[in-house]
Amino acid sequence: MYYSAPGKIILFGEHAVVYGKTAIAGAIDLRAYVKIENNNYKNVSIELNDFNVVKQWSIDDFYDTIKIIKSIKNIKNLDTDKEIDELRVIVEKFAQNKDIGPQKHDAAFEAFCYFMIRLVIKENIKIKSKKISIKLNLPSSVGLGSSGAYCSSLIYGLFNYYNISFKMTDVVNYGTFGEYFIHGKSSGIDVSLSTYGNICCYKYGNDIEKINGCSEKEISIIIVNSKVERNTKMLVNEVRKKFNEDNELIGSIFEYIDEIAIEGGKILNSLDDDDDLEEKLKILSELCFKNNVLLLNLGLGHEETTKICSILAKYNITGKITGAGGGGCVFGLDLKKLQQSKKEELCGVLKKFGYDVWFCKLGAQGVMKHDTIPDIFK
């Protein structure tokens, strides 16, 4: 059985969203893929193909750990922050390879173990011997929602594999708590976009609202990874420090970003109308430019992302920082739908500087089951 879920990109509103402002984000057709198959070894294994690592547990070990968790006072359905905090140390210890100690990829194993443990406790499943393989055509650790896509596709696959009756809200709930083991407590926007797909409007603490008025139009974007690593937590804290020092100035920047995000959402919501599509995409591009300037004013730029924006401008593409900033990725709307030769030329220029490049579609389908073998597994 094969399943997949898309990554995401923030179009407007990063950082300001932390302060209750609007963010617009969209699913992209770069995906995490999951394959689940039975085995005869009385164990459960999961392989992260992109990292060339495999972890397996005996079914008895799973049940022994679940017995310990059930003995903890106040543990019920494993669907509250307090419960996750209670069992986190146990899950971390269970997921890690005792022989080599903590590794970067352990967090992905922890999320999987959490899913299995919760399914046994809440859904009363009987653990089956199985092998799970994970493959990505979505880059990880660059702010494109790879962990959300991983969690969404994996729990969706497990729901189907065990024939559990579920709603998409269950995928979001499980997936968001799964991300807790990878990133700490999250807003849920990544998992929600991976689950539902499309383009959405989001405000912290509110439900995600799907933008319905652009489902019939194909929006092409280019994403460029500067390969400059950034610490999201540190950047968020730096912006908060600036806000605390001058909340009037920084607050006004957030207000401008909010206005841009709201306007961008309105434009996106009207793309299916018969009005001039090219003009609307041009306005979106202008909003990207304005949002990017405001992010630079918050100190979130980097010489490499500035260089990327300059290169894109030569091809009439307005580049914008996406995510935390300080490096990471830049995206641009491919307004003119570049000819293949021009795309190859642009990719060549960007790769010459060591950047990774993807042309993809915005508003991708959410989590899904595949009726045929995905190409990535062939």
- Same domain? 44 vs 99: yes
Residue 99 is predicted with a pLDDT of 60
Lowest-confidence segment of 57-71, 100-114, 193-207, 241-255 by average pLDDT: 100-114
Is the Cβ–Cβ distance between 129 and 41 less than 8 Å?
yes
Mean pLDDT of 168-180: 94
CB-based contact 153:194 (threshold 8 Å): yes
User: According to the model, what pLDDT value does residue 102 have?
Assistant: 65
**Do the beta carbons of residue 105 and residue 51 sit within 8 Å?**
yes
* Measured distance CA(39)–CA(161) in Å, rounded: 13
Q: Which helix (H) or strand (E) holds 132?
A: strand 130-136
Closest to 317 measured CA to CA, from 357, 353, 354, 263: 357
Domain membership flag for residue 372: no
Q: For 348-371, how does the pLDDT look when each residue is reduced to its tens digit (9 = 90+)?
A: 999 999 999 999 999 999 999 999
Comparing 82 with 171, the larger pLDDT belongs to 171
Residue 367 lies in a domain: no
Specify if 307 maps to a domain.
Answer: yes
**Residue 100 above 70 pLDDT?**
no
Same domain, 105 and 243: no
Range of the domain at 84: 2-209
* More confident: 100 or 314: 314
Number of domains in the chain: 2
- Within this chain, do residues 72 and 154 fall inside the same structural domain, yes or no? yes
252 in the same domain as 165: no
Contacts of 361 (CB under 8 A, 6+ apart): 28, 29, 218, 219, 220, 221
Count how many residues are written for the chain.
378
101 pLDDT more than 70: no
Assess whether 34 and 92 both reside in one domain: yes
pTM: 0.89
Does residue 355 fall inside a structural domain? yes
For residues 209 and 185, the model is more confident at: 209
What pLDDT is recorded for position 112?
A: 97
